[in-house]
Each structure stands twice: as C-alpha cells, then as structure tokens.
Amino acid sequence: MEAVGFIPSSQHLVQTNKTVTWASPSNIALVKYWGKYDPQIPANPSISFTLNHCNTKTSVTLVDQSMLSDKSTGAFSFEFSFEGAPKPDFHPKIASFFARVFDYLPFLKTYHLVINSENTFPHSSGIASSASAMAALSLCLLELSDEFPPNDQNVFSEAFYAKASFLARLGSGSAARSISGPLMQWGKTPGFKASQDLVAVPFNKVLAPIFKNFQDTILLVDKGEKVVSSTVGHGLMKDHPFAKARFQQAHDQLALLTEALVSGDMETFISVVESEALTLHAMMLTSSPYFILMKPGTLSIIEKIWNFRKNTALPVCFTLDAGANVHLLYPEMHKVQVLQFIENELVAYCQNGQYICDQVGSGSISHTVQP
Ligand code: DP6
C-alpha cells in the first residue's frame, strides 16, 4: 500500500469531549533498525519482540475549539502532561509528529487535544519510551477519528492496527513495531512477501515453543539521558563508510533469524542477536563523529554472560539498544537459574542495583471506557 492509501476518503463522525485510552508496550529489536530516509523509511528491515510490562498508557480527550477561551484561534492545538505534570520538553517531538500525521487524520485540524501519559517503567531508566509513547498516542488518535470503529465485541480490525502502525512510524520508527506482538517485522525484505516499509506487520510464521513467554531482563547500567539521540544516530548512517554492507547484513541476518525463530535453533538465534547488538554499536564507533555508547559495566556484563553460557550451556544471550543498558534474553524455563545468576554476578554493574524483569507480550491494549 502507498502512503496516500492511508488518507481517509471522507471525514468521519467525531465525538467531541470523548476520551480514549491505550496502553502500548516497549519493544526490543533483534535485528536493528539503524539508518532511515524521509519520511521515516527504514534503510534496512528490523524485527523485534514486543514487551509486556514496560508500557506507556496514554489518554486523549478531544475538545472542540469553540469550547476553549476567546484566545483560541480555531486552529489545532494540544496540551500534554506526563505523569500528572505538564511536560513542555516533549512538545517539539509531539508537534512534529502532528505535523506529519495531519494529512492522514484531517479531523484533527479543528480540535484541541488534552493528552495525559504515564509509563509503567521508571522514567529515567535509560529505556527509550518513544516507541511505546508514539504507539499509544497513534492508537488514541485513530480511535478518536472513528475511521475504523471496533465491532460489537469491541475488537478493532486489522486495517485499524495497520494504520496505527503507519501513524506511529511517523512519530518514531521503532514505534511502528509496538502496536501488536509478539514479534513484529518492519521494512521490506525479499524473504518475506508481507513486509513493508510503511507499517510493521506481525511475524507470520509459527514461533518455536522455546520463544513462548521469552524473558527480557533489562539491566540498568546507565539510567541517564542517551549520549546520542536515535535521530542523530540514524543520520550518521547517511555518509557512513560501512552503510551499504550493514544494510545488506540486516537482510541476511533477518533471513537467518527467521529460520531460527521457527526451528528453535538457539545457536543461530544467539549468534544473530548478539551480532546485531554489536554491529549497531560498531556503526556508532565508526561513524563521523564517533561515539561510545557502552559503559565499562556493559562490557563486564557481556563477558559474564558469555562465561555463564559456556559453563552452564544455557541459551542466554544479550542485546543492546543505542545505550549502555543490557537486555538479557532467555527462555522462561531457565528463569530461576538466570535470575540467580543476575543477583550473584550482574547486579553489581547495575546503577543502584536496578533491573527490570519483562517478557514477550502481545501488543497494545485499549483501556477506553465505553459509554
Ligand atoms: C537502536 O525508533 O528511536 O532502538 O525513528 O528516529 O524515532 P526514530 O528512531 P528510533 O530508533 C530505534 C533504534 C534502535 C533499534 C531498533 O529499535 O530497531
């Protein structure tokens, strides 16, 4: 489908003063999206596990401009609160998101939106919240548009979720993958006919049982602000000397990973996932300007994981985002042993001993209170 296909053919009936609420999860990429073209088109395909507990919950109320004070110009406006307090720092990112989605949600132009958002994970944990935040906001806006009303059982259609992913992508690329779950693929790749650059689609093969309730324990090595924003990081791939080889590698690794996800071949799964994490960081190490996003604790944890895997033969591996925190991935059946290992050997490298236990989840959930 082309982008114009997401422009509604007619204006839908919109209910003023209606409040809708969605909770969207964060996700962790196994094959990484790193590099993009305008407008938010990925330079390579990616695939991620949708998480379960790390969520953003957002409510949006639609207010008719005529209900506002005389100062209202009648043009689109919004107010945004995060965990109960106004957050002007978030305004520019949200405003540029709105600028990109107006054509696809034309009803917005004459309304004022009251947006309230909260995260279930600690705010300054170094965990990117743009994916879950943009996914939840997109779902709210699309529900308000009434373009794809739910059925009598309050179930939304595939078309609703596809457009929500399209909108979320315009806010933050990885947000396209936070709409559904448990495994979402985004970006055209030859091995998967349904794959697309404009929306993320659910992995359409049967996952091997070992991945059911797969665990992701996020070791918070550094809870500070990101050294480099993802937007800047993606930009560095434009003139990157290794870009072409990297983009091809992502296609190849995705093909290998797809087979491993179906067969349950953990050796291949681990080697692709760890290679992807290290390649992402290698791109940052070799870009101009260059950046080191890991901390000494990140490397110590990786070494400990490798030793633990060698000594126990348990299929435990790591992945990284564009930061210092480590995501420890492992099958649910090994939870007790791995948590013991974390307590004994890894907690020492976590800031204030903090880590978050999450697992693969099934995607965004509506919390709209129906009248
Ligand atoms: C390293 O989705 O945060 O997490 O599209 O600029 O908002 P923008 O970037 P973003 O990039 C995420 C990069 C990553 C890898 C991934 O999630 O695939």
Atom of ligand 1 nearest to the CA of 172: 7
- E-assigned strands of 32-98? 36-37, 41-42, 46-64, 77-82, 85-86
- Mark which of 187, 207, 227 sits at the end of a domain: 207
Top-ranked range on mean pLDDT: pick from 72-81, 85-94, 280-289: 280-289
Comparing 113 with 72, the larger pLDDT belongs to 113
Token pair, residue 91, equals 């305004």
pLDDT per residue as tens digits for the range 79-96: 999 999 998 888 898 999
Domain of 193, in residue numbers? 14-207
For residue 204, pLDDT over 70 is answered with yes
Alpha carbon of 173 to ligand 1 centroid (Å): 6
Is pTM beyond 0.85 here? yes
Atom of ligand 1 nearest to the CA of 131: 2
For residue 293, CA distances in Å to 60, 172, 225, 281 come to 35, 20, 11, 7
Question: What's the 230 CA to ligand 1 centre distance in angstroms?
Answer: 6
Q: What is the pLDDT of residue 227?
A: 80
Atom of ligand 1 nearest to the CA of 27: 17
| Burial (Cβ within 10 Å: 0-12, 13-18, ≥19) of residue 235 | middle
Mean pLDDT computed over every residue of the chain: 94
What pLDDT sits at residue 66?
73
Task: Please tell me the residue having the least CA distance from ligand 1 atom 5.
Answer: 173
Triad 274, 277, 281: Cα angle to 5°: 140
Same domain, 203 and 58: yes
With beta carbons less than 8 A apart as the criterion, state whether 3 and 198 touch: yes
Q: Tell me: pLDDT of 109 over 90.
A: no
313 and 341 housed in the same domain: yes
Alpha carbon distance 250, 312 (integer Å): 30
Cα of 232 to ligand 1 centre, how many Å? 10
Share of the chain above pLDDT 90, in %: 84
Q: Say if residue 198 is in the same domain as residue 264.
A: no
Compute the distance between CA of residue 295 and CA of residue 299 in angstroms, rounded to an integer. 7
Q: Give the Å distance between the CA of 34 and the centre of ligand 1.
A: 7
The tens digit of pLDDT for each residue in 175-203 reads 999 999 999 999 999 989 999 999 999 99
The DSSP secondary structure of 280-349, one letter per residue, reads: HHHHHHTSSS------HHHHHHHHHHHHHHHHH----EEEE-SSS-EEEEE-GGGHHHHHHHIIIIIGGG
- pLDDT-wise least confident of 221-225, 265-269, 284-288: 221-225
Among 127, 174, 246, 257, name the best residue to mutate to test ligand 1's pocket (greatest count of ligand atoms within 8 A of Cβ).
174
Cα gap 368→23, rounded to integer Å: 10
Using the predicted structure, report yes or no on whether residue 370 has a pLDDT greater than 90: no
Residues 137, 251, single domain; the answer is no
Report the nearest atom of ligand 1 relative to the CA of 171. Answer: 7
Written as six digits, the tokens of 158 are 């595939």
Same-domain pairing of 40 and 187: yes
- pLDDT, one tens digit per residue, over 18-48 is 899 999 999 999 999 999 999 999 999 999 9
**DSSP structural state of residue 154:** -
Pairing of strands 77-82, 111-119: parallel
User: What's the rounded Cα separation, in Å, for the pair 334 and 199?
Assistant: 34
Cα(105) to ligand 1 centroid in Å equals 24
**Residues with Cβ within 6 A of ligand 1?**
29, 32-34, 40, 46, 128, 130, 172-174, 230-231, 234, 280, 321-322
Atom of ligand 1 nearest to the CA of 169: 5
Are residue 126 and residue 215 in the same domain, yes or no?
no
Same domain, 192 and 256: no
* 246 and 181 inside one domain: no
Query: Are residues 177 and 90 located together in one domain of the fold?
Result: yes
Would 369 be classed as within a structural domain?
A: no
DSSP 360: B
Domain count, the chain: 2
Considering 77-91, 225-239, 249-263, the range whose residues carry the highest mean pLDDT is 249-263
Q: How far is the CA of 33 from the centre of ligand 1 (A)?
A: 6
- Check whether residue 215 and residue 268 sit in a common domain: yes
What is the tens place of the pLDDT at every residue in 121-175?
Answer: 876 666 768 999 999 999 999 999 999 999 999 999 999 999 999 999 999 999 9
Query: In terms of domains, do 106 and 161 share one?
Result: yes
How far, in Å, from the CA of 29 to the mean position of ligand 1? 9
Q: What is the mean pLDDT of residues 267-279?
A: 98
Confidence of residue 72 (pLDDT cuts 50, 70, 90): low
Residues 196 and 304 in one domain: no
